[in-house]
Structure 1
Amino acid sequence: MAKEIISTPDAPTSPFYSQGVRVGAHVYVSGTVGVDVRSGVLAGDTIQEQTRQALANCEAILKAGGATLDDVVEVGVLLTRPEDFPGLNEEYARWFPSAPPTRYVAKLGVEFPGILVSIRMTAVTG
């Protein structure tokens, strides 16, 4: 089965990885941070602001790949500071209020200035 690289100007990009990849009915979204692509800077200094923007960025990649948040079956979250876990959950619950996908949360191993969270997703369409 052929893979299709997903790319959108509505989410952060990198020369080191694809924003997303679609293989058949599966859409894989790379770890995405809370950078607002319109301004090119982090959406804010709080975990809630960065989580909100990271999820919006993931949603844009999903859309470009023909999927929606309703199609998401797995979410992976990397936190810079474990103490931000309650704030992450506060914003995350707004995006997945019922029947949430599976999820894991771990500590981000690489430190990037100002980055509090990175979120990745897997969706299945059809």
Structure 2
Amino acid sequence: MIQPATHQIIKTEEAPGAIGAYSQAVQAGDTVYISGQIPLDPATGDLIDGDIEAQIERVFDNIEAVARAAGGTFDHVVKFTIYLTDMDNFGAVNTVMERKLATPYPARAAVGVAALPKGAAVEADAILVLG
């Protein structure tokens, strides 16, 4: 009989709480899967004000907080997926990532989408390997 996978739920107050039926992150072995983060202020749960670069910065701050709660950093990220309602904002994603991450950069995909939760313009998720 196949045993269910063992995993640990990661949760922190330094990032917005889940707004649906999901966890902020799940760790299975040395791998951490961080759920999509939109530019929510963790204290209020509201979308932040500001230009797209500020919103992207908030998304990465939220991911970083969840990574820390799992015992990791951006250095442990192996893959980001970025979701944008306007692909013209792709350059701003690169600007923020260059500022927040060190080389060598992780893998990344950018996906254009019609809409995101709460009317956000950007969302990102991440996969970390801690081992």
Q: Compute the TM-score of the two structures, normalised by the length of structure 1.
A: 0.91
The alignment partner of 1:75 has SS state of: strand
1:86 aligns with 2:106: no
Give distance in 1, aligned partners of 2:33 and 2:89: 25
Deviation at 1:37, TM superposition (A): 1.0
Give distance in 1, aligned partners of 2:47 and 2:9: 25
Task: Report what 2:13 is aligned to.
Answer: 9
Question: Which protein shows a greater Rg?
Answer: 2
The alignment partner of 1:36 has SS state of: coil
Task: Report what 1:63 is aligned to.
Answer: 68
**Structure 1 contact 31–118 (Cα < 8 Å) conserved:** yes
**Structure 1 contact 62–68 (Cα < 8 Å) conserved:** yes
Deviations 1:21-56 (A, max 9, x none): 001100110010111112332232321111111101
Structure 2 residue corresponding to 1:54, chosen from 50, 54, 59: 59
Give distance in 2, aligned partners of 1:20 and 1:27: 7
1:28 aligns with 2:33: yes
Structure 2 residue corresponding to 1:72, chosen from 71, 77, 94: 77
**Structure 1 contact 45–114 (Cα < 8 Å) conserved:** no
Deviation at 1:114, TM superposition (A): 4.2
Give the root-mean-square deviation of aligned CA atoms.
1.5
Q: Note closer, same or farther for the CA distance 1:111–1:57 as it changes in structure 2 (3 Å cut).
A: closer
Q: Structure 1, unaligned stretches of length 5 or more?
A: none
Aligned amino acid, residue 96 of structure 2? E
Task: Report what 1:45 is aligned to.
Answer: 50
Q: Structure 2, unaligned stretches of length 5 or more?
A: none
More off after superposition, 76-85 vs 109-118: 109-118
Instruction: Report percent identity of matched pairs.
Output: 31
More strand by share: 1
Q: How many residues end up aligned between the 2 structures?
A: 126
Deviation at 1:111, TM superposition (A): 3.9
Task: Report what 2:123 is aligned to.
Answer: 118
The alignment partner of 1:86 has SS state of: helix
